[in-house]
Amino acid sequence: MLSKICQCHHSLDLSEQIKTKMAAKNRKLKTKAAVPEKYSSSPQHASTSCRQKENTINYLRWFVLIFLLLAITLTFSHEIFGVIHGFSEKLNSKKWPTSSPLQPPETSHAHMVDVGDDHQGLRGEKLTNEHENLQESQGNGQNKQKDFDATICPEISMTDGDIIRLDKRNLKVKELVHQTKDSSVQVFIVDDFLTKEECNGLSGAHVKHAKTSNELGPLLCFSGVQSFQKYLNEAGLNDIKISNRDFIEGTTCINETFSNRLKTKFKWSHSTAFYRDESPFASVFEKRVEDVTSLVSSHGGKFQITSYPKGVGYKTHTDCTLNSKELRDRYATTLVYLQNVKQGGETKFPKLGLSVRPKQGRLLVWNNMNRRGRCDPTSVHHATPVVKGRKFILQRWYYYKSFSSLGHRSPEPELPKRKPMQPRVVCDHFEEGSCRWYDEWDYNHLNDYNKIADQLS
């Protein structure tokens, strides 16, 4: 095209004869690219034709330039959008903070009552009903309890000596027989219920998550002044005298300064929790439990991984509430040992005369309540202190009567005021419990909560 432009400028200096011949030749060719005859009849017309061609070429150049700029802009914008979109999707899919699959998602503080999936779950569920009844009386249409059909948990169905085919493995059921009269409690073990890889993965996730969460010192909570004083005495801190004024207002937790002073004086186990909809492993575990025990997932609570360092155990207790008619309580306990323990760490049932040694992958199952829904006192048990090594367990409780919020994470209370993701250490009643670190908060440390719970019990 540039050569044609040069030819046009050069043609202005040629003789009329050459111009006439060129015009005749162009007419003869009759091509779209040829110069029209009327523009070849004079030098003026030829000059006009060349200028039009120059303008056309310039337009084409601008069009190409604009097209290239537009293409580059669109491509660059697409890449930027892709980066932003990808980053946005990562943020949306993230469960804050994401130190491990066991990390609980960030929940907004709200004045809602815990469903009671904790050591004193019965009390929490009673208060949940009180709260839901209040919502219903105020016309709150979000009350899901009224649409929930509660069911009774199926009985544990296991037989000594049974061989169960599970995930291409043969698992053998063993019943630990006791001679205790008037006891409804049955205790079973199944070795290799979880694989070595599963056990190591869960233990590793627990350690990583607990380490990350423990960067903030925990707040220490107690069941009351008297129990707190007994823990101080046990730690050799008899000279410290405390009163209700030492607790954060409205709670049975002590402030951060006091907690930091005591955290090196007390020993505790560490517990991290995850729920049914928070980990793919949850569905694997609950399906496996159902295949082996007949306990159904709809009656299962949270999944709790607990580690015991050297010198730490857990005092004698029952997983259900004695002398209570409440049916929304822990009917059965499933516990899996995630690691071998060199010495100590046994689970003992003193009234049954049974003791179970930790063995990696071993499932321990027992019922705490009888078939009428009453807590059996012979289910009392304790964890002996670890002498050598470290103990890891995964446990899940199955409730006698189901309720709507069972197995789902609840919003945490506003009190006590604390830093985001700050953990807590709960020291139960001195005579029937021990201290345990938790990565989540429930309502058992609130004074108002306990007052209402006492009225309902």
Positions of E strands within 161-297? 163-166, 169-176, 187-190, 219-222, 269-274
Positions of E strands within 338-452? 343-344, 347-349, 354-356, 363-367, 381-383, 386-388, 391-399, 424-427, 435-438
Mean predicted lDDT score pLDDT of the chain: 80
- Above 80 in pLDDT, residue 375? yes
Compute the distance between CA of residue 143 and CA of residue 138 in angstroms, rounded to an integer: 11
- Above 50 in pLDDT, residue 306? yes
Q: Which fold has domain 162-204+274-405?
A: Jelly Rolls (2.60.120)
According to the model, what pLDDT value does residue 423 have?
Answer: 97
Kindly state the DSSP code that residue 298 receives in the 8-state scheme: G
Is the preceding omega at residue 358 within 30 degrees of 0, hence cis? no
Share above pLDDT 90 across residues of the chain, in percent, rounded to a whole number: 63
Q: How far is CA 11 from CA 1, 14, 19, in A?
A: 16, 5, 7
Dihedrals phi, psi of 221, to nearest 5 degrees: -125, 145
- Above 80 in pLDDT, residue 27? no
Relative to beta strand 381-383, strand 363-367 is unpaired
Compute the distance between CA of residue 126 and CA of residue 131 in angstroms, rounded to an integer: 9
Question: Is residue 21 very low, low, confident or very high in pLDDT (cuts 50, 70, 90)?
Answer: low
- Above 70 in pLDDT, residue 53? no
According to the model, what pLDDT value does residue 120 have?
Answer: 41
Q: How far is CA 303 from CA 129, 278, 396, in A?
A: 23, 10, 5
According to the model, what pLDDT value does residue 60 have?
Answer: 75
- Higher per-residue pLDDT: 277 or 130: 277
Range scoring the smallest mean pLDDT among 72-81, 84-93, 391-400: 84-93
Report pLDDT digits (tens) over 159-199. Answer: 999 999 998 999 999 999 999 999 999 999 999 999 999 99
According to the model, what pLDDT value does residue 174 have?
Answer: 99
Share above pLDDT 70 across residues of the chain, in percent, rounded to a whole number: 71
Q: Which uninterrupted H or E stretch holds 53?
A: helix 43-93
Report pLDDT digits (tens) over 101-118. Answer: 454 444 333 333 333 344
Compute the distance between CA of residue 232 and CA of residue 180 in angstroms, rounded to an integer: 37
According to the model, what pLDDT value does residue 63 have?
Answer: 72
Relative to beta strand 354-356, strand 386-388 is unpaired
For the segment 31-56, the average pLDDT, to the nearest whole number, is 52
According to the model, what pLDDT value does residue 145 have?
Answer: 60
- Above 60 in pLDDT, residue 67? yes
For the segment 286-303, the average pLDDT, to the nearest whole number, is 98
Range scoring the smallest mean pLDDT among 37-46, 58-67, 226-235, 322-331: 37-46
> Model pTM?
0.72
- Above 80 in pLDDT, residue 33? no
Report pLDDT digits (tens) over 225-265. Answer: 999 999 999 999 999 999 999 999 999 999 999 999 999 99
Compute the distance between CA of residue 188 and CA of residue 288 in angstroms, rounded to an integer: 15
3-class SS of residue 208 = helix
According to the model, what pLDDT value does residue 453 have?
Answer: 78
Tally Cβ neighbours within 10 Å of residue 378: 18
Compute the distance between CA of residue 63 and CA of residue 56 in angstroms, rounded to an integer: 10
Judge whether 3 and 11 are in contact, CB under 8 Å. no
Relative to beta strand 269-274, strand 300-308 is antiparallel
If you search the block for the tokens 């004074």, which residue do you land on?
Answer: 447
Compute the distance between CA of residue 439 and CA of residue 428 in angstroms, rounded to an integer: 16
For the segment 310-330, the average pLDDT, to the nearest whole number, is 96
According to the model, what pLDDT value does residue 52 have?
Answer: 66
Domain-wise residue ranges, the chain: 162-204+274-405
- Higher per-residue pLDDT: 147 or 310: 310
- Above 70 in pLDDT, residue 148? yes
Report pLDDT digits (tens) over 402-445. Answer: 999 999 999 999 999 999 999 999 998 888 889 999 999 999 99
According to the model, what pLDDT value does residue 34 have?
Answer: 44
Range scoring the smallest mean pLDDT among 52-61, 279-288, 324-333, 355-364: 52-61
